[in-house]
Amino acid sequence: MAAVALALVGVIVFLAVATPLRYRFGIWRSVPILDHRLLPYLSAIFAAAFGAFFGSLCAFYLGRVQQRSDRREKRHAALIAAQYALMSQWNIVEAIRVQHLEDLHNDPSRFTKLKLYWFPMSPSLVPFADLTFVLETKDPNILQEIHLAEQSYHGCAEALQLRNQELKKFYENPRISHEIRDFETGSGAAAATQKDLIFLRQATDALYLSLDRTLRD
């Protein structure tokens, strides 16, 4: 930018002294008139200044174009990554519903029948640091909706973990007697009080509620 400014100043000075007196007005008429014997030398200086100005201007413009192109590519990549992350999270939640929860969804005794379930919880995460540009668009609320969608996934994953923990505590409770009738399926019977069952039931209901909200939203 310094070279551009110097070149521009040189052009202005050259035009100021090279303009014939009859075309000047006001204080401009007091500026010295160019000696035409110096014209070849000044022309060389002007050509060099114009070349520097034009070259700097082209470099600046091309740099700005490249910056805009890089910014567009980075934003596009961030949007693709966010879309992939949300789809990955949704697929995990849907797999939990289909493989684990759906068959007992309307069963009032589902908290006693639902088995231990493990699923690899390692989805891609939304790159929120690269999505701040969305706040400058016509619909900045999209970023908030993306955040809520990912939070719903985390809530569902935590609810599944909590239910597994409560089921483990239920089987480890020394006050409860368990009878395994089918080792392959894990079906059996247990003698437990309502106090022993309350947290297992609440954790089970919380899991179903969290999953229903996540898929609905």
- pLDDT by residue (tens digit) across 153-203? 999 999 999 999 998 888 888 887 766 666 555 566 667 778 888 899 999
Instruction: Inform me whether the pLDDT recorded for 38 exceeds 60.
Output: no
Q: Rounded to an integer, what distance in angstroms lies between the CA atom of residue 93 and that of residue 213?
A: 11
Residues 111 and 208 in one domain: yes
Q: Do 102 and 39 belong together in one domain?
A: no
**Is residue 155 a contact partner of residue 210, using CB atoms and an 8 Å limit?**
yes
Count up the domains in the chain and report the number.
Answer: 2
Higher pLDDT, 6 or 108: 108
What is the domain extent for residue 194? 75-216
Buried b (16+ CB within 10 A) or exposed e, 183-192: eeeeeeeeeb
Regarding whether 200 and 106 lie in a shared domain, the answer is yes
* 103 plus 35 within the same structural domain: no
Q: Among 39, 67, 95, which residue terminates a domain? A: 67
Residue range 114-142: mean pLDDT, rounded = 85
More confident residue, 89 or 3: 89
Residues in the chain: 217
Do residues 108 and 185 both lie within one domain?
yes
Whether the pLDDT of residue 204 is over 90: the answer is yes
Q: Indicate if the pLDDT at residue 208 is higher than 90.
A: yes
Examine the fold and report which residue of 13, 36, 67 is the final residue of a domain before the chain moves on: 67
Distance CA 151, CA 86 (A): 11
pLDDT for res 81: 92
Q: What are the pLDDT digits (tens) for 56-81?
A: 667 766 777 777 777 888 888 989 99
Residue 49 has pLDDT above 80, yes or no: no
Of 27, 43, 67, the one marking the end of a domain is 67
CB atoms within 10 A of CB 53: 19
Residues 24 and 43 occupy one common structural domain:
yes
The DSSP secondary structure of 75-131, one letter per residue, reads: HHHHHHHHHHHHHHHHHHHHHHIIIIIGGGTT-TTHHHHPPP-----------GGG-
41 and 84 belong to one structural domain: no
